[in-house]
Structure 1
Amino acid sequence: MTGDSASSPLNVLLASPRGFCAGVIRAIDIVERALELYGAPVYVRHEIVHNRRVVERLRAMGAIFVEELDEIPAGAPTVFSAHGVARSVEEAAAARDLPVLDATCPLVTKVHVQGRRYVKAGRTLVLIGHAGHAEVIGTMGQIDAPVHLVSTAEDVVALPLATDTPIAYVTQTTLSVDDTRGVIAALHQHFDDVVGPDVADICYATQNRQTAVRDLARQSDLLIVVGARNSSNSSRLREIGDEMGVPSYLVDDGSAVDPLWLNGVGTVGITAGASAPDELVENVIAALAAVRPVAVRQLDGVKEDIEFTLPAQLRRAMAAE
């Protein structure tokens, strides 16, 4: 795989699948359709997805991104991001009569439903996730009971709960399958009565992209992950490359590619997080081609054909047009 000449062709392998998942496509589609139906501006609470390029494009179309609902004028069309929101946010929007389109990923909504079901059954809920992540904040705010947040096996041991406490767990959808498996194992070791979804219930897109990046790393001298710094799933893809012994970098686009990375490199693997558009992958390839000639090949992988429907009120409004 290693190249000896700075002028020798560079093999570029593309992971499959990579980039946008069904939840991200749906969220972006909701904002775009809302702009078509209602005209600008449409207000979006928080980044619709964690990608600056996507946000900037939607902003240019007339979307206004805000942090708090009180920044939104009365009656203005409002979109909740793909990460989900707390019930208090939903209630505040209803109190102000804001017409809301909820772009929460259906797989995140599934976690909310699971969590409420476990609490109703009398179990203490543990959420496996990263503190401060928008999805975690939303999930914790969807449960009408205390939620214990853990990220590591050490966090499990430190939980202020008796070992005979009936435990149920749910997970942030964008976590590493491997890391989640370790925390789940620690829960079973530390507590007598533990239930929760199978590790396979973690977001299909997260699993598929992690499997693909492992395959990619095995065939690459260098790994480039296209995605935002605040994208949990993108960061984890880079970490997997590092764990497999491949120099790995997370970049927003081709402008972040350092030609020095290519010294002695024959094959570069490229993947993209679930919120990164493929145009940014093309931009990275162009940056590589500016340094050395490239030969691009896409690896075989799982074909994703999952589609999520738009919110009912948006479908009705579109049908009435």
Structure 2
Amino acid sequence: MKRLSVLISVLILAGLHFSLTAEGVGEAPQNLSGEPETIQVAGLKGPTSIGMLPLFKNRPSFAGGIQAEYRVVQEPQIMLARIMSGEVDIAAVPINLAAVLYNKGVPYRFGAVTGDGLLYVVSSRKDISSMEDLRGRTIYCIAQGSTPEFILRYALDRSGIDPARDVTIDFRFDQVSITPQLVAGKIDLAVLPEPFVSIVSAKNPEVQPVIDLQKVWARTSGTGETYPITAVLVKAELMESKPEAVEAFFSEYSDAIDWVIAHPKETGLLAEEFMDMPAGIIALAVPRLNLHFQRPVEARPRVDELYRVLHSFAPASVGGSIPSDEFYE
């Protein structure tokens, strides 16, 4: 139960959850036998699935006339259940959940990274622009025991700031209740993911992102690169039986991400249409969502580095161990 709790808190961190589930519809093309063939694709509602939105709209066909049926999963528990049952062929999930599922023996493989970190220190103060400026202050952070806390502590430590002595980290607010506190000016310094950053800034322009934790990671980790946050899992059986369709899917996914980056306003409209998310907020958030497509060979060094850091804070957050070579094959 404790590990399941970690999974759920990690998933909740990955995106906004509204009241509507959108599902791709339409008739699938016929294969040679006359039977329709579809790949079931699911993405958790929120930033995890923003890069997939053009696929929802255009529904391209893949090798052999295969088409995908797209679903936005409203609740993290539902996503977890669909993956565990094998109902979903391809799923966009938080990257540490991918490791947890692999370590539980769930037969999915790592298909791609589709997004990097999206955590920011936001503040209404004018005297904060660097990690050193956080020394001696109270930082409000959501989701104790999950990725935001671990990234914040890592960034502080690598910047020469002792998280236990040099700052106070306050976890009293969750990602929903912290928003009105920042908007009303009751707190003035917090760590938030997008699109919550854009939501707060839209309601109170005095509150702006003052530190990009992704850049801090890139600078202090020694890698020159930031950490990934979204993974796409593919059912192992699908990778083996329909490799051409899987490759075609990822080619379309890469193009979709490029389109989203170049068209934030139109992406906002798609988010409103398919995920019941506010178009204007998503349009503002797109440049800070850090959408980034990488296949496993290129992404693995960054993925493994993140897993090592998370494992050092809480082994359960990656399922107890860092995935082996098989995960990436």
TM-score normalised by structure 1 residue count: 0.33
Q: Which has the higher helix share?
A: 2
TM-score normalised by structure 2 residue count: 0.33
Bigger Rg, which one = 1
